[in-house]
Amino acid sequence: MTKEIIENDPYKSAGVDISAGNELVNIIKKDVASTHNENVLENIGGFAGMYSLDKNIKNPILVACTDGVGTKVSLAQQYNNLDGIGQDLVAMCVNDLIVCGAKPLFFLDYFATSKLNIEETSTVIKSIASACIDSDCALLGGETAEMPGHYIDNNFDLAGFSVGCVSKDKILKKENVINGNVLIGIESSGPHSNGFSLIRKIIDESNISNEEKNKIVSMALAPTSLYPKLIINLIDDFKINAISHITGGGLTENLPRSIPKDLGVKIDTNSWEMPYIFKWLQENGKITNSDMYRIFNCGIGMIIIVDAEDSETISSEITKLGYKNFITGSVDEMTSKESVTFI
């Protein structure tokens, strides 16, 4: 492309810089390639990514999910702390995949912005690539869209899409859960990527020093925990009946998705200490206990449901693998209209 064409680029005059997009691709190529394994058939630059399924998987079932990070991205931009937002995006997808026992295979991202900021965008994508490596999945491709007039003030948004695979006879189903099963709660790193419209409101309205505010923001922006390696290890070595990802809707609304309709769960709220960030949000936002459990994970990012006789052994193994965990409750017969009871 000649200098004259570049300087008189009509598309750039409309707010879309193709050259910047090409520069971004060159910057992130190594990071994306570092996530690839022998199953990836196509390099960056093609129209689509290709992935070969492991022939050793019997009766393979593909599992797919998509998600975003909500307005956590707004807080991250406001405080110029984008280092973990890519991990948030990957985690929100792969943490959903593993609930049914699927191993993440590959991930794709969508990055949309008013004006492409190469430094910001590359920071986010590097974080995505790093999280893919930590989740044993390939960053197979993505899309970066410059959309002047649609997004304003250099804002951007993210979406992710992930595909995993599980043998048909190894799918984790809620029908496996029975009365007397035990719940093991696995620690979260913070609010993960849920409840941020409320979090931002509470922070903005709080009457605290800038130093304290920065401390709270740092806690809120802690990257979402990645659970795939842990969960896959547990599934390989133990009998896991079901799993619940404590995402949007908190403990109250996610646990019922993982148990039969005629059963309920009792959560012992004294079995773990709610981390400071949640205590601060509750106090400063004047939020009731019931709303806290309905909005936030309150320190529990994932719950696995196991047979009572296996619970202590599995809990010890989770600890050995580097995750704090708690015997948080049990499965019981439904005794009220509420399927989740906090005691």
Return the bridge partners of 262, or none: none
What's the structural domain count of the chain?
Answer: 2
pLDDT for 165 beyond 80: yes
> Among residues 143, 170, 197, which one ends one of the domains?
170
Residues 154 and 210 occupy one common structural domain: no
Q: What confidence score (pLDDT) does residue 126 get?
A: 92
Q: Read off the CATH number of the domain in which 266 is found.
A: 3.90.650.10
Shared domain for 326 and 191, answered yes or no, is yes
Q: Which of 137, 170, 203 is the last residue of a domain?
A: 170
Write the DSSP string, 129-175.
HHHHHHTT-EEEEEEEEE-BTTB-TT-EEEEEEEEEEEEGGG---GG
Give the relative orientation of helices 85-97 and 228-237 as an angle to the nearest 10 degrees: 20
Q: Which of the four pLDDT bands, split at 50, 70 and 90, describes residue 153?
A: confident
Query: Are 74 and 213 in the same domain?
Result: no
- Domain boundary among the residues 147, 170, 193 is at 170
pLDDT at 18 over 90: no
Q: How far is CA 162 from CA 91, 142, 238, in A?
A: 10, 11, 25
Amino acid in position 146: E
Q: How far is CA 273 from CA 69, 117, 269, 297, in A?
A: 26, 40, 8, 12
More confidently predicted of 260 and 147: 260
**Together in a domain, 265 and 209:** yes
Q: Check: CB of residue 105 under 8 Å from CB of residue 163.
A: yes
Q: Are residues 298 and 196 in the same domain?
A: yes
DSSP 186-236: EE-SSSTTSSHHHHHHHHHH----HHHHHHHHHHHTSPPPP-HHHHHHHHH
| Domain CATH code at residue 47 | 3.30.1330.10
Tokens of 145: 């869209």
Whole-angstrom CA distances from 16 to 8, 44, 279 are 13, 21, 44
Per residue in 315-335, pLDDT tens? 999 999 999 999 999 998 877
- 57 in the same domain as 191: no
pLDDT digits (tens, 9 = 90+) for 180-189: 999 999 999 9
- The yes-or-no verdict on residue 118 having pLDDT over 70 is yes
Does one domain contain both 117 and 17? yes
Within a 13 Å sphere around the CA of 247, how many CA atoms are in the beta-carbon half? Answer: 24
Sheet holding 156-167, edge to edge: 60-68, 156-167, 103-113, 138-146
Q: Are residues 243 and 201 in the same domain?
A: yes
> In terms of domains, do 294 and 199 share one?
yes
162 and 184 housed in the same domain: no
Where does the pLDDT of residue 1 fall: very low under 50, low under 70, confident under 90, or very high at 90 and above?
very low
With 50 as the cut, is the pLDDT of residue 158 above it? yes
In terms of domains, do 166 and 220 share one? Answer: no
Q: Are residues 162 and 182 in the same domain?
A: no
For residue 45, the enclosing domain spans 3-170
Residue 45: pLDDT above 90? no
Task: Tell me how far apart the alpha carbons of residues 169 and 15 are, in angstroms, rounded to a whole number.
Answer: 52
Name the average pLDDT for the chain. 89
